[in-house]
Amino acid sequence: MAKTVGIGITGGIAAYKMADLVSQLKKDDIDVIVMMTENATKFITPLTFKTLTGRETVVDLWSESLEYKVQHIGIAEELDLLVIAPATANFIAKMAHGMADDLLSTVALANTAPVLVVPAMNSNMYNNSIVQENIKTLQYHGCYIMEPDSGVLACGVEGKGRLPETQKIYEEIIKILNPQRDLQGIRLMVNAGTTCEDIDPVRYIANRGTGKMGYAIAREAARRGADVILVSGKSNLSVPDNLKYIEVWSAEEMCQVMLKHQPACDVIIGAAAVGDFRIAHVAAQKLKKADNTSQVLQLELIGTPDILKEMGKNKRESQIMVGFAAETENILENARQKLISKNLDFIVANDVTMEGAGFAADTNIVTLIDREGDVESLPKMTKDEVASAILDRLVHLLKI
């Protein structure tokens, strides 16, 4: 049965590129309904898309439609996927706050199919904290988000905000329409985020982990059919859909939770930034700062549990364990040592000092190392792409 994709075009300079995307989809016999905001029609005409699709291009919420009794509801019910591209900062804000004041935003609100949002705008606008918060809101509500490309923008500035090539958008559409279910029935547990160790009731020590890599793995594994448990330390990320979420604070708490669930899991992935040390004596009351600015505060630190090492001792033969090695020197050597000492099946190593590979980055540059000594170095990828590559390797090991 043919799929129906709604292409929602908003008022960005990249709107004209959607003609190429629509053409690619039509060549695959995908039915396409094009919806445009009024501002989008300033960049490319509705007639262009009517010619390409053989259907009316819908712009006006109040136009009389021969196809639907209630136009926005009828369109929404027909869709297998809604794509918003290019998605302007304004339209992203409208979606994030449930506004429905034109045809496209009304369809977006009535739609129950998956949604792919492709932001494209000036880099300063894209990096604005309000825009980023709105994007996170859409992710929280289950939207797929494509990262914009970097390069010279229409305004002449160089930065992040360009619409991805239409071929990449096309491939993402096909991927969503035909999801892999190669982890169906697999019980997978992944940890993510950073653990925190209290100094007193007010302060704690932690590291720079954000949870982006672990959350990407959890999200992709759930999409591919796995029964996922996400054990998360501190993170500002939205919890992915369709999984069991357990929030923890300290390394000890994370260790106990994971050991409890280990027997029921087929796969365990350790992607959290677990602190190596905790405070030996946590103060019962807030430590006061003296008036003297030269005051020295000494904290005694002791080791935290090595979570994967503890789990490696209990690992059954059919269970697969994957670890991460975030290093600053001797990357491969240190990763291999961790692989053996923790009884892992393979390890994901990265140099966190490299540009585009740090904790807060949306991208990563990793090397996969397995027990047989095989080494696979991956190019710079988004963390979603790295997650997919890790799970591809996992499927091979599971022989499913």
Task: Note whether 59 and 43 are within 8 A (CB).
Answer: no
Task: Note whether 83 and 48 are within 8 A (CB).
Answer: no
Average pLDDT rounded to a whole number, residues 234-251: 93
Taken in order 365, 143, 181, 222, the sign of the CA dihedral is positive
The owner of tokens 């393979």 is 346
Q: Is 342 annotated as a binding residue?
A: yes
Average pLDDT rounded to a whole number, residues 69-94: 90
Question: Which amino acid does the sequence have at 104?
Answer: L
Active site residue 155: yes
Q: Is 286 annotated as a binding residue?
A: yes
Average pLDDT rounded to a whole number, residues 204-229: 94
pLDDT winner (highest mean) among 46-55, 152-161, 289-298: 46-55
Q: Is 315 annotated as a binding residue?
A: no
Q: Is 308 annotated as a binding residue?
A: yes
Structure tokens at 109: 């609100």
| Dihedral pair phi/psi, residue 20, rounded to 5° | -65, -40
Average pLDDT rounded to a whole number, residues 338-364: 88
Structure tokens at 335: 């990763």
Q: Is 324 annotated as a binding residue?
A: yes
Quick check: helix, strand or coil at residue 59?
Answer: coil
Spatial neighbors of 86 by CB under 8 A, at least 6 apart, are 9, 10, 12, 13, 14, 15, 17, 18, 118, 119, 120, 121, 163
Q: At what angle do helices 103-110 and 89-96 cross, to 10 degrees?
A: 40
Structure tokens at 85: 């591209």
Task: Note whether 393 and 179 are within 8 A (CB).
Answer: no
Burial, 87: exposed, middle or buried (Cβ in 10 Å; 0-12, 13-18, 19+)?
A: buried
Question: Which amino acid does the sequence have at 376?
Answer: E
Q: Is 338 annotated as a binding residue?
A: yes
Q: Measured between alpha carbons, how far is 398 from 226 in angstroms, rounded to an integer?
A: 13
Does domain 187-283+295-398 fall under CATH 3.40.50.10300? My reply is yes
Percent helix, strand, coil in the chain, to 5, is 35, 25, 40
- What pLDDT is stored for residue 240 in this prediction? 85
- Count of other CB atoms within 10 angstroms of residue 37: 22
pLDDT at 357 > cutoff 80: no
Left, alpha or beta for 161 (phi > 0: left; psi -120 to 50: alpha)? Answer: left
Q: Is 276 annotated as a binding residue?
A: yes
Catalytic residue among 143, 155, 196, 255: 155
HSE value, Cβ hemisphere, 13 Å, CA-based, for 300: 4
pLDDT at 301 > cutoff 70: yes
Structure tokens at 54: 């053989």
Q: Measured between alpha carbons, how far is 400 from 398 in angstroms, rounded to an integer?
A: 6
Q: Measured between alpha carbons, how far is 103 from 9 in angstroms, rounded to an integer?
A: 11
Return mean pLDDT, the chain: 92
Rg of the chain taking only CA atoms, in angstroms: 24
Helices marked H in the chain: 18-27, 46-53, 71-78, 89-96, 103-110, 123-127, 129-140, 166-177, 212-223, 251-261, 307-314, 331-341, 383-398
Q: Is 289 annotated as a binding residue?
A: no
Among residues 390, 363, 395, the alpha carbon closest in space to that of 218 is found at 390
Report the helix count and the strand count for the chain, using DSSP H and E: 13, 21
The owner of tokens 């170095």 is 377
Structure tokens at 53: 């699709």
Reported as a single tens digit per residue, the pLDDT across 101-150 is 999 999 999 999 999 999 999 999 999 999 999 998 998 788 999 999 88
Burial, 33: exposed, middle or buried (Cβ in 10 Å; 0-12, 13-18, 19+)?
A: buried
Q: Measured between alpha carbons, how far is 360 from 348 in angstroms, rounded to an integer?
A: 17
Q: Measured between alpha carbons, how far is 122 from 17 in angstroms, rounded to an integer?
A: 17
Q: Measured between alpha carbons, how far is 157 from 123 in angstroms, rounded to an integer?
A: 8
Taken in order 200, 310, 216, 338, the sign of the CA dihedral is positive
* Across 68-77, 172-181, 283-292, 329-338, least confident range: 68-77
Higher pLDDT, 61 or 322: 322
List the chain domain ranges.
4-177, 187-283+295-398
Strand segments (E) across 255-336? 267-270, 277-279, 301-303, 320-327
Average pLDDT rounded to a whole number, residues 337-341: 96
pLDDT at 207 > cutoff 80: yes
CA angle 362, 138, 121 (to 5 degrees): 65
CATH architecture, range 4-177: 3-Layer(aba) Sandwich (3.40)
Q: Which pTM does this prediction carry?
A: 0.75
Q: In which band, very low, low, confident or very high, does the pLDDT at 286 lie, cut at 50, 70 and 90?
A: very high
